[in-house]
Homo-oligomer: A and B are copies of this chain.
Amino acid sequence: MGGIVVQTTAYSIGVDLGGTNLRAAAVDRAGRSLGKQTGSTGLRESRESVVGDIVASIQTLRKRFGEQQCTGVGVAVPGFIRLKQGVVENSANLPSLEGFPLRDEINQQLGTPVILENDANAAALGEKWLGAGRDVEDLVLLTLGTGIGGGVILNGRIMRGSDGMAGEFGHMTVIPNGNPCGCGNAGCLEKHASATAISVMARLLQLGELLTAEQVFRIATEGTGEDAHKARRIFELMGVALGIAVGNLVNIFNAPLYLLSGGPLPAWDLFAPSMIAEARKRSFTFRNTGTRIERAQLGNEAGLYGAAYLPFLEAGAPVGFK
C-alpha cells in the first residue's frame, strides 16, 4: 500500500557574518535547528580565510544533513548588498570582502544556490518567521547596536529597496541640529539612541568618561542619587529619539508591529516609556490603530534564522508555524 511520504529532512543553511566569527545553522522548514557551526577564523582576517571558513562551515552542515535535502544557503552580511551582482559593500565588519563577488564564489565552490542579505533585513525576516512577528505579514525592525540598522517586512517579504539599501533607520534625521554623524548629516537617530550614543551622553552629562552602555544601564538600575538620575535620564532621552523615529515610521508604513532588538534591549523598561509616549504624541495613526511597539524575541539568532529562511522563500514553498 502506498502512502504520502513527508519529506521532513528538507532544510536550508543560514550563515550569519555579523559577529567576530561566523555562525551557521541547518534549519528545517518548521524553523527547527538541526545543527549549528561556528567559524574557526575571525571575520577580519584575509579574504581567503574568511571565504574558506564560510565554505567549510556550509560544507560540514551539508555533509551532515544531506546534500540533496539542502534547499539552499542564505548569508546575512552587515553592509549593503548589491543584489544583482551578489556583492557586499560598505561593511566595516568584513573589510576583506569589500566589492568581492561573494555569492558567485560560494556558489561556484559548492554548486548550491546562495542568497546574500543585509543582516538587519535578515533579522527582520527571522523575527517574522519564528519570533515576535510570527502572527503578522508586515513589520518594521530597528536593531540597536554601535549603530542602528533596520529591516522592513511587507507581505512576508523583505523590502530591499532598489539598491538593497532600504531600512537605513540609523540615519533618519530625528533632531535637525543634533549630534554630527560620520555620514555627513547631523541629528541621525543612531547619534541619539544607539549604544554608542548612550556612552556619548554619559560623557556629556558628566556621568563618566568611556562608560559602556551596559555600565550606564547598571548605574541606572543599581546606582543611587545624582548618578542614577543622570543614567536614567540618558535612557529617557534615548527613548525620545527612538519615539520620534518610530512615530515617523508608523505614519509612513502603518504596519501592525514595530520591533526593537540589540544590546540595549535589557534597558527596555528605562527607554520604552518615553519612546512610546513620544510615538503616541507624534502619530495619530499610532493612537487610532492597534499598532504595537515591542521587543524582538530571537536575540542574535534572528539574522541566522532569517538567512536560513531566504532559500525557502525563494523556492516559494509554504513554510513556518502558521
Contacts and interface: CB of A to CB of B under 8 A. Distances in A.
Contact of A161 (B184, B255, B288): B255
Contacts of A96: none
Contacts of A160: 254
Given A154-B154, A162-B255, A254-B163, A282 B248 contact: no
Contact of A176 (B169, B171, B174): B174
Contacts of A164: 254
Given A173-B247, A174-B176, A185 B281 contact: yes
A252 B253 CA distance: 10
A161 B250 CA distance: 9
A305 to B, nearest CB: 24
A168 interface: yes
A166 B252 contact: yes
A53 interface: no
A244 interface: yes
B165 A254 contact: yes
A150 to B, nearest CB: 8
Main secondary structure of the interface of A (DSSP, over half): loop
A285 interface: yes
Chain A residues touching B, range: 35 or more
Contact of A163 (B163, B185, B289): B289
Nearest to A157: B155
Contact of A289 (B162, B171, B256, B285): B162
Given A162-B138, A282-B185, A284-B183, A173 B254 contact: no
Contacts of A285: 161, 163, 165, 168, 171
A161 B244 contact: no
A251 interface: yes
B168 A251 contact: yes
Nearest to A164: B254
Given A176-B244, A184-B284, 13 more contacts: A161-B285, A163-B254, A165-B288, A165-B289, A167-B252, A168-B254, A171-B251, A171-B283, A171-B284, A172-B251, A175-B176, A183-B284, A185-B284
13 contacts: A138-B162, A154-B154, A162-B254, A162-B255, A162-B289, A163-B254, A165-B254, A167-B252, A168-B254, A169-B251, A173-B244, A185-B282, A185-B283
Q: Which 8 A-B pairs have the closest CB atoms?
A: A161-B254, A166-B254, A165-B254, A168-B251, A185-B282, A162-B256, A163-B289, A183-B284
